[in-house]
Amino acid sequence: MFDPSYINVYGYTPVGDIIVIALCLIMSVILLQTYFNSKKKIITTSIIVFAMFGAAVTKIIYEMLIYSREIHIMPIHFFRLLHHFILTLVLYMYVQYLHDPLWIPTKVQRKYRMFSLITVIAAMASDIILTITKKGFYVSLNGYIHIGINAFIIVYTLFLFTILYMIIRYRSRIIRPVFWGLLGVNIISMMTLSIQGINRQVSYTTAAYFFPVIAIVFMFHSNPFNIDTGAVSGSYLQSEIENRLERNEDMLLMSCKMSNFSKLIAVDPELKEEFFYFFKSNVKKGILYHFPGDRFVLLIKKNKNQSYYQQVEKMLSDFYSSYEKFGIDFKIIVLFKNEHIAEGQDYIKLIDYVENRIDVNSIHRIDEDDISEFYSSSYILSQLEDIAMKKDLFDKRVIVYCQPVYNISTGKYDTAEALMRLQLDNTGIVYPDQFIGIAEKYELIHSLSLIVLNKTCYAIRDFIEESYDIRRISVNFSAIDIRYEDFCNEVKSIIERNGIPYSTIAIEITESRSDSDFNIMKQRVVQLQKLGMKFYLDDFGTGYSNFERIMELPFDIIKFDRTMLLESIKDKESNFMVSTFANMFDKLDYAVLFEGVENESDENHCIEMKAKYLQGYLYSKPIPIEQLRNFLTKVS
């Protein structure tokens, strides 16, 4: 028979533990349906929830045995000890869990782990010793319950203060909302235990330790599925691919980029219904990931009962059926696991690379050539990033070629256009069509432009010192270059450092559609022209040309693209149009330069159209700038 004084000292009702049991069951269901990008985290979280369930169950059994009419000494001691052991295990696991989000160093993790283990073992040993020596909790043979010293209270206190210390000590490594969330929940847990102790209650002990568990599930494992599409964040895809690569599992990736799809599916019930039908029919064990820009990537495990190719063809067939109904523009890419792709991030980058190269409303199956081109592009990007980081104006990887320009009035090659090339260890010479787009996309072009300008100035200085007649060399700059606030100062600094006249450098720029770019360009042109520099309008006649804006910008030379030359010899009407443009610019005191002159017929035709300068393979292919000496004449 139990000691009535136990009730008077500590009251108990199973409500708190029953609530914990119910919440554990609910959380288990949610966790099973939640996508986790880390198997380690899901295992740790599941163990903690399962342990809390066990702590609540053992607490109820233990209390029921105490209140039973017949006292069972051993079961009481067993379930009491088991209950406290499970709670210490929960605290131990919680401490280990916090290592990752708090970015605790590995060496420090080992210290916390060792401290926690020693604390748990010491608590168990101390409690057993206290029971044996009758100093702690024990049940006497006559059924009386003695509370005594509870070693676990000391252990719980140590754990709670350790957790608070960790959160506060490493708060700079987590965002403020996470810090305050973790700190606040643990303080509430401690306050609950304190209030319970003051009121001589033991009903909510398990619940108090359950609060932090709820917090980590809510903060770190809230369900990432999108309600409309069932997709998870694309940020999880890389780790999932890496997990499959580690386990050497086959996989299929299908990427589909659809214009404005997220907004459309949120407001169009018919589209949503069609999407769910497609998803249900085709995605059995796959996971759908959503990236910005409405790109969806489906990762599918290998199905033993069906080949990947059959799966792909069925999905594409179903997709086309839906496309005929809704007509949303798309780009689809199919990628199988490939032994030449070793990193998870490379699969994602490869999809992005190919997607930017294919046409809208097309399907592309990635092959070995795509992979080879991708890695070549990635290598070029890494070199461009390194060039930009080092800021070496004489970087050997950037080499300057030039194409001589024939001056009709002097009959000499006294001007030229500087052209950019890369000389890389793994690839050799890399031409502009292979790297300019990459450099502009990642905003690395400016470093290259400054290096070309510097090396061109350096070459001009040599030509002048060697008494060659060099009027000027033009250097290409992009709209990205012009946007830099310090652009003019950078150009002036490089020219002055090389000690050459400003007039020996010209800048070639292409007209921009952007109003802001146009205004900035106008300021830059006016500022540098005052120093004596010339400005070329590059690629007139291709794409966008606005005469009003051209007139506003004080260009010196208008470059007619080869397409204009070809257009002028197509028929009389086209010839009249191009000739009229050239004559108009000539009368307005703009010098006209025709590019792409390949034979004497082209040359004569350009001269008839008031050309002042000619450039093309008739005179020379692009050559290393040092070889320009072969075209220059010396000043007598």
* pLDDT recorded at residue 548: 65
Q: What is the mean pLDDT of residues 546-559?
A: 77
Given a cut of 70, whether residue 524 has pLDDT beyond it is: yes
Determine the average pLDDT of the residues in 308-319: 85
pLDDT digits (tens, 9 = 90+) for 7-54: 444 578 888 899 999 999 988 887 776 666 566 777 888 888 999 999
Which of 69-73, 163-167, 192-196, 559-563 comes out lowest in average pLDDT?
69-73
CB of 103 within 8 A of CB of 85? no
- pLDDT given at position 218: 78
Percent of the chain having pLDDT more than 70? 92
pLDDT band at 4 (very low <50, low <70, confident <90, very high): very low
pTM (2 d.p.) = 0.65
Q: Is 350 helix (H, G, I), strand (E, B) or coil?
A: helix
Q: How far apart are CA 252 and CA 463, in angstroms?
A: 59
Q: Residue 553 above 50 pLDDT?
A: yes
**Residue 89 near residue 116, CB atoms below 8 Å:** no
Per DSSP, the residues of 254-305 read EEEEETTHHHHHHH-HHHHHHHHHHHHHH-SS-EEEEETTTEEEEEEEPPTT
Mean pLDDT value of segment 286-293: 86
For 126-172, how does the pLDDT look when each residue is reduced to its tens digit (9 = 90+)? 888 988 888 888 887 776 778 878 888 888 888 888 889 888 988 87
Domains, the chain, with CATH or none = 5-220 (1.20.1070), 232-366 (3.30.70.270), 378-630 (3.20.20.450)
* For residues 74-100, average pLDDT: 88
Phi then psi for residue 609, to 5 deg, are -95, 30
Confidence of residue 3 (pLDDT cuts 50, 70, 90): very low
What DSSP assignment string belongs to 568-605? Answer: HTT-HHHHHHHHHHHHHHHHTT-EEEE----SHHHHHH
- With cut-offs at 50, 70 and 90, classify the pLDDT of residue 1: very low
Which is more confidently placed, 231 or 389? 389
Residue 239 pLDDT grade (very low, low, confident, very high; cuts 50, 70, 90): confident
pLDDT for residue 8: 43
Residue 110 to residue 209: CA distance in whole angstroms: 24
Residue 228 has pLDDT above 80, yes or no: no
Q: What is the mean pLDDT of residues 506-524?
A: 81
Q: Which of 309-318, 421-430, 436-445, 539-548 has the lowest mean pLDDT?
A: 539-548
